[in-house]
Amino acid sequence: MAYAQLGAYLSVRLSHVSKLANGVLFVKKISLMAAVTLLSGCAVNPYLQPMVDGPSAKLRLASVPSNNNFVAVPLSESCISTEFKHGGHIATLGVKANLVRSLSRLDMPAYDEKLGDSHQNEVYIPAQKPFSFQFNGVGISGFTPGQTDSGGALYSWCRKIITFTPVENANYEALYDYIELPNGKETCGVKLFEIVADEQSKYKKVEVDNYQVVENYCK
């Protein structure tokens, strides 16, 4: 009889421990899911949807070089810095774009099929007021930037800021490409185009007249 009572007691205790363990695992699972959800929410890119506080335009960011290029809203519009506004990341171009899944498409016209998906990203930007964004291209040694700030001999950065006032609902393309200097070395150059339809309803890229390019670094 004593053995039967002991067996029943142990059975109840084991059942209680099992439920407690399952409860702990369940709580841990819920906590992990909440953390993932919270982190995902913090990582939402505001430039992947129309602006919530005003009119929008569309901007295609294109980078010809095969190196990675990180595009963000600069901390200062008047000089180049390695710091950016909080929540100011716009897009990643290049090989890393596939890794971070930064491949946004907004069905903009005149898409360059030859350039490749990882080197083009389409986003929304605020319109009817000045907007600045900074290309941050990283290249192998031998690439001549305005200033080398990588701190090492292998990689160097070439950064350029573009500032302009987008028109509401207009389509733009910013192109980052190599240009050759008089001494034969290469550096980065940027151009800004508006994508417009001609009389035959065919789209073409026309360079914007009133945009500014900043090359000097903050002191």
pLDDT in tens, 52-70: 999 999 999 999 876 789 9
Whether residue 204 has pLDDT greater than 90? yes
Query: What tokens were used for 20?
Result: 């407690």
CA pair distance 89, 54, nearest whole angstrom:
19
User: Does residue 161 surpass a pLDDT of 70?
Assistant: yes
19-28, 61-70, 179-188, 209-218: range with lowest mean pLDDT: 19-28
Burial class (CB within 10 angstroms; exposed 0-12, middle 13-18, buried 19+) of 92: buried
Find out whether 157 and 145 touch, Cβ atoms under 8 Å.
yes
Q: CA-CA distance, 150 to 82, in Å (whole number)?
A: 10
The mean-pLDDT minimum among 21-35, 85-99, 157-171 falls in 21-35
The whole-number average pLDDT for the span 150-178 is 86
pLDDT bracket for residue 97 (50, 70, 90): low
What percent of the chain shows pLDDT beyond 70?
Answer: 70
DSSP 154-175: SEEEEEEEEEE-PPTT-EEEEE
- Highest average pLDDT, of 16-30, 62-76, 158-172, 197-211, comes from 158-172
User: To which residue do tokens 């903009």 refer?
Assistant: 108
The residue-averaged pLDDT of 69-89 equals 94
Q: Is residue 134 very low, low, confident or very high in pLDDT (cuts 50, 70, 90)? A: very high
pTM value? Answer: 0.74
43 vs 41: which has the higher pLDDT: 43
